[in-house]
A and B are shown apart, each in its own frame.
Chain A
């Protein structure tokens, strides 16, 4: 069988020739606003399995599937092959590559965008504290996740589901078998691929309307500045080491970006919120990092798989509250969760007047 990936240029040639493949657009309805390939059949990924037999009755006919960037189409390709379609390929780089090359498109006919979104978010728009105005705030919001591991997994899913407009993901790791008991955003077939890419697949599957920005790199003093200058409203700290957490604290404070902190150890988790422009910061809470090697990671000390599910979900809740401007943020309060005793405790802490990080931030503003 020939290669299952096809470039925009090659596809453009083949569409003009004999035995041209049928383009199948697997994006969701709202994404069609930018147009589609000429003569494309619109069949969103989540409907593919159910509707393919009816809409694509000939399993020998050549088909080319495409999406926005070539990630969902790779899934569609696998699915169609599994369903017995013999000549399927998918467009490398998706509609984005096609457009960049100035290749021909047409206006899509199906865009019942307003109704589509209204239905998706209807149950939370019902909440008076959110409503249509709150949903628009969420759609305009930009939330950055440091780490797409145990804590980032539930946070990425719930923020996607809630309709947060743009979600940034930073992680340099690839999916490992030993991650999957707790990092439920990823999946066994995606072992070995970059976590940020694996995360994007799961997030798009839940909500294709969300925009995902990927940073497949380590968050460090070198990379922090350029990444944090991308206009984030809230950051979720799901890092797995102390240097990253202190670096994030210092860089986020300078930009007055709130950080929803979560951390886990064996059967215990913690959550708190640093508001950025006021209130205590991470260095007020723990001024001195432990000496390297004294406090181990999840890999060294072990962790109950469901624990980050509890903590990451609380972080996502805090982030949504901050974007919506509702409720009381968990600022100056450390929430601890002890799974073995099933006990939550809350402990208050104040800004340290001698803090090397937050006491130097510009007042007001």
Chain B
């Protein structure tokens, strides 16, 4: 399933990229599965997995939300700097 991933803040550093287009395996059909898959693909992301949020097509979604081909999925860890 073809999707785009956008990485923000610490996720951008952990993956070394701000955007990637890729083919998700068919088992990664919702946000909860995506989060697990991200940890496997990018071990440096693991420390952020329990606090980051996913936005799908510019809308924050919860872990049960489904993923469809063509979705733009933003990976957004919180930041606190001021």
Interface residues of A (CB under 8 A from B): 147, 149-152, 237-242, 245, 262-266, 268, 270, 285-286, 288-291, 294-295, 297-298, 301, 303, 308, 334, 336, 338, 340-341, 345-350
Known pairs A294-B47, A346-B58; A336 contacts B82 (CB<8 A): no
Among B33-75, those with CB < 8 Å from A are 47-48, 50-51, 53, 55, 58-60, 74
Among B11-35, those with CB < 8 Å from A are 12-13, 18
* Most chain B C-beta atoms within 10 Å of own C-beta, residue among A239, A298, A347: A347
Q: When chains A and B are docked, how far (Å) is the Cα of A308 from the Cα of B79?
A: 13
* Most chain B C-beta atoms within 10 Å of own C-beta, residue among A241, A245, A265, A350: A265
Residue of B nearest to A241 (CB): B80
Contact residues in A for B78 (Cβ distance below 8 Å): 242, 263, 286, 289-290, 295
Q: When chains A and B are docked, how far (Å) is the Cα of A245 from the Cα of B79?
A: 10
B9 contacts A by Cβ under 8 Å:
yes
CB distance from B58 to the nearest CB of A (A): 5
**Inter-chain contact B9/A262, CB cutoff 8 Å:** no
**Inter-chain contact A268/B82, CB cutoff 8 Å:** no
CB distance from B5 to the nearest CB of A (A): 14
- How many pairs, one residue from A and one from B, have CB atoms within 8 Å of each other in the complex? 98
Q: When chains A and B are docked, how far (Å) is the Cα of A291 from the Cα of B49?
A: 10
**Inter-chain contact A348/B51, CB cutoff 8 Å:** no
CB distance from B50 to the nearest CB of A (A): 6
CB distance from A248 to the nearest CB of B (A): 11
Q: When chains A and B are docked, how far (Å) is the Cα of A336 from the Cα of B79?
A: 11
Contact residues in A for B13 (Cβ distance below 8 Å): 266
**Inter-chain contact B10/A295, CB cutoff 8 Å:** yes
Q: When chains A and B are docked, how far (Å) is the Cα of A340 from the Cα of B47?
A: 24
**Inter-chain contact A285/B59, CB cutoff 8 Å:** no
Q: When chains A and B are docked, how far (Å) is the Cα of A229 from the Cα of B42?
A: 46
**Inter-chain contact A348/B79, CB cutoff 8 Å:** no
**Inter-chain contact B55/A347, CB cutoff 8 Å:** yes
Contact residues in A for B48 (Cβ distance below 8 Å): 290, 294-295
Contact residues in B for A265 (Cβ distance below 8 Å): 9-10, 79, 81
**Inter-chain contact A242/B80, CB cutoff 8 Å:** yes
27 contacts between A and B (CB under 8 A): A150-B81, A151-B82, A152-B82, A237-B82, A240-B81, A242-B80, A263-B79, A263-B82, A266-B9, A268-B12, A285-B60, A286-B78, A289-B78, A290-B50, A290-B77, A291-B47, A301-B81, A303-B81, A308-B82, A336-B76, A338-B8, A346-B58, A347-B59, A347-B60, A347-B74, A347-B76, A350-B60
